[in-house]
A and B are shown apart, each in its own frame.
Chain A
Amino acid sequence: DADVTQTPRNRITKTGKRIMLECSQTKGHDRMYWYRQDPGLGLQLIYYSFDVKDINKGEISDGYSVSRQAQAKFSLSLESAIPNQTALYFCATARAGTDTQYFGPGTRLTVL
């Protein structure tokens, strides 16, 4: 079984809809991250969490929110999706005290 899983893997939605992307991990890591990937831009950090009670904004948090329901679960929400949020979204985890991040398989989101 994969250590970091993301659901759904693909989603097509319409402008204005609320969308939730979920991430679960079995690695036992404290730290979790959400990134988006756009062609030619690499990965940009949206939000990160160092433990269940800790949530921090990343480089591009506007239009997004997150929830850390448990150590193993970190959800990303788009309250009102817009077309320029069409991208590939990745969840990642890291053990506290280390900088090495481990990535999920990604969710491809299309906003029409």
Chain B
Amino acid sequence: AQSVTQLDSQVPVFEEAPVELRCNYSSSVSVYLFWYVQYPNQGLQLLLKYLSGSTLVKGINGFEAEFNKSQTSFHLRKPSVHISDTAEYFCAVSNNNDMRFGAGTRLTVKP
């Protein structure tokens, strides 16, 4: 089965700074890749997904991610973060509806 590693459990950044949340996956078959965001006391919200086509995927709230098949990575980026981006971010990989999640990265944006 596929698996996901989120390389950073916590990422603190200052407001308006760029951020990258790292995600690597392992799978012997082709997979779909997702980033979900969880705001405090809420469920998971889909941020973006890669199914096929262009390797650069744009999502909501100014986030984007790039699928790199050779490095088996799907890193999430935002050029300028806001206080409101403070949340937990989950990378997920799916094949035939078998979805596996990473442990999550807590992004804290400081003023």
- What per-residue 1/0 map shows which CB atoms of A33-52 lie under 8 Å from chain B? 10000001111110010100
Residues of A within 8 A of B63 (CB): none
Residues of B within 8 A of A68 (CB): none
Contact residues of A: prevailing secondary structure = strand
Between B9, B36, B103, the greatest number of chain A beta carbons within 10 A of the residue's beta carbon is seen for B103
Q: From the candidates B34, B49, B103, name the one contacting A42 in the complex (CB within 8 A).
A: B103
A47 to chain B, nearest CB (A): 13
Q: Is the CB of B44 within 8 A of A42?
A: no
A residues contacting the other copy or chain, number (CB 8 A): 22
- What per-residue 1/0 map shows which CB atoms of B91-103 lie under 8 Å from chain A? 0001111010111
Q: From the candidates B9, B34, B96, B102, name the one contacting A100 in the complex (CB within 8 A).
A: B34
Q: Interface residues of B toward A: which range?
A: 20 to 34
In the complex, A101 has a CB within 8 A of chain B: yes
Given contacts A103-B44, A104-B43, A105-B42, contact A42 B9 (CB under 8 A): no
Residues of B within 8 A of A41 (CB): 103
Between A41, A43, A48, A90, the greatest number of chain B beta carbons within 10 A of the residue's beta carbon is seen for A43
A17-B43 Cα distance, complex, nearest whole Å: 26
A50-B97 Cα distance, complex, nearest whole Å: 10
A32-B44 Cα distance, complex, nearest whole Å: 15
Given contact pairs A40-B103, A92-B44, A104-B43, a sample of 19 additional A-B residue pairs in the complex whose CB atoms are under 8 Å apart: A4-B43, A31-B97, A40-B9, A41-B103, A42-B90, A42-B101, A42-B104, A43-B90, A43-B101, A44-B101, A99-B51, A99-B97, A100-B46, A102-B46, A103-B36, A103-B43, A103-B45, A105-B42, A106-B43
Binding site for B on A (CB under 8 A): 4, 31, 33, 40-45, 48, 50, 90, 92, 94, 99-106
Binding site for A on B (CB under 8 A): 4, 9, 32, 34, 36, 42-46, 49, 51, 90, 94-97, 99, 101-104
A-B contact pairs, 6 of them (CB 8 A): A40-B103, A42-B102, A44-B101, A99-B32, A99-B97, A102-B46
